[in-house]
Amino acid sequence: MEDNKDYKVTWKGWVALFFLIVLFSGTMGAQEGWMKAFDLNSLVGAFGKSEGAKVAFIGTGGFGAKEGMLVGLSLIPTVMVAQGLLDVCESYGAIKAAAKLFQPILKPLLGIPGVAGLAFVSSFTSSDVGAFITKDMFENGLINDDERTVFAAYQYAGSGTVNNTIAAGAALVPISVLPVGAIIGLIVVVKILGANFVRMYLKFYHKKHPEGGKI
């Protein structure tokens, strides 16, 4: 994407960006009534269960390729909804607005452009949407291979930070010496450090192999 000074973001772009940030951040997930419509997980919904069944169609106890196939199928609705919402909001200038808003944050923090802001926000609550947005940005030439590698390193470690910390670590919260907020903050710091280790390695690699690209 061209430098963020070379284009103008309209009010529609800012509104579309705000909508996506709220949607992907999960802040409306705990609300009741119509406000839940502004939460991605609520929009995606959940699979129903057969009469008398205790679990959805994925079941329990599966393994191997068959289990992986069912898990992959279960991700299709999330990706489809996210793709549609991104395409609509992108047409209003949400991606350009994200580039302007997040450039001063993500460039010094991770060495990636501000256009990755939406994926950065969504990675706090979901690993699926963040991975999809990252793939889409790379295929559209908005980030290069090195930036994708650094961002993937950030997302992969402790993916879905907020949701997974609260859900998977719920049993440990009562005996933890730190509050949940501090734990999540610590995880984010470690994620940033890990991504910057990858960033430094890539810079070192490209110094020794100047024929490759660089961040």
**What pLDDT was estimated at residue 199?**
94
Which of 62-66, 92-96, 196-200 shows the lowest mean pLDDT across its residues?
62-66
Residue 155 lies in a domain: yes
175-213 in b/e form (b: 16+ CB < 10 A) is eeeeeeeebbeebbeebeebbbebbeebeeeeeeeeeee
Residue 137 lies in a domain: yes
Residue 2 lies in a domain: no
Residues 110-158: tens digit of each pLDDT: 999 998 988 898 888 777 778 888 988 999 888 999 999 999 999 888 7
Residue 214 lies in a domain: no
How many domains does the chain contain in total?
1
**What pLDDT was estimated at residue 169?**
61
Residue 4 lies in a domain: no
Q: Which residue has the higher pLDDT, 42 or 150?
A: 150
Residue 53 lies in a domain: yes
Helices (H), 51-159: 64-91, 94-110, 117-122, 127-139, 145-156
The residue among 142, 159, 158 whose CA lies nearest residue 106 is 142
CA distance 25 to 31: 13
Instruction: Say whether pTM exceeds 0.85.
Output: no
Residues 85-98: tens digit of each pLDDT: 888 888 888 888 88
Which of 9-13, 48-52, 69-73 shows the lowest mean pLDDT across its residues?
48-52
**Domain boundaries, position 56:** 11-208
Residue 215 lies in a domain: no
